[in-house]
A = this chain, B = another copy of it.
């Protein structure tokens, strides 16, 4: 089977990629530095991207939007064959993990909100018996570990 040759028109400059993805040029360069994309180079050392890179970058934006860090996205992409942009099947696997994460975040926020509501109602602050001031259970974790609240 003949391998399709790269027509010059298939190669996209970084500015064009930026325009099409909404990313800044510097962000794209940064993503390359992080190993998230690997553009080709011209003889003059300028980056040239493939169409699939745009999808790849869009995927990164979405995954980021869903709460993954660049490091996590990188490792998700790294598990795919070199240079491949996720297919539907890949996406299914990745998204299942993301889904679990979203569920947890939502549950956590809802729990917090309920607690807050209770607190507004009870008008405490007199402390020592307020759910939000005195959370026994793990209130999720987004900082450096849970903190004891209240002296």
Residues of A within 8 A of B (CB): 20-23, 51, 54-55, 58, 61-62, 64-66, 86-88, 91-92, 95-96, 98-99, 102-103, 105-106, 109-110, 112-113, 116-117, 119-120, 123-127, 132-133, 139, 143, 147-151
Point out the residue from B22, B86, B109, B147 that lies within 8 Å of A61, measured CB to CB: B147
The dominant DSSP class at the A interface is helix
Point out the residue from B109, B112, B125, B150 that lies within 8 Å of A109, measured CB to CB: B109
Contacts of A110 in B (CB 8 A): 106
Q: How far is the CB of A132 from chain B (nearest CB, A)?
A: 6
Of A54, A58, A66, A91, most buried by chain B (CB within 10 Å of CB) is A58
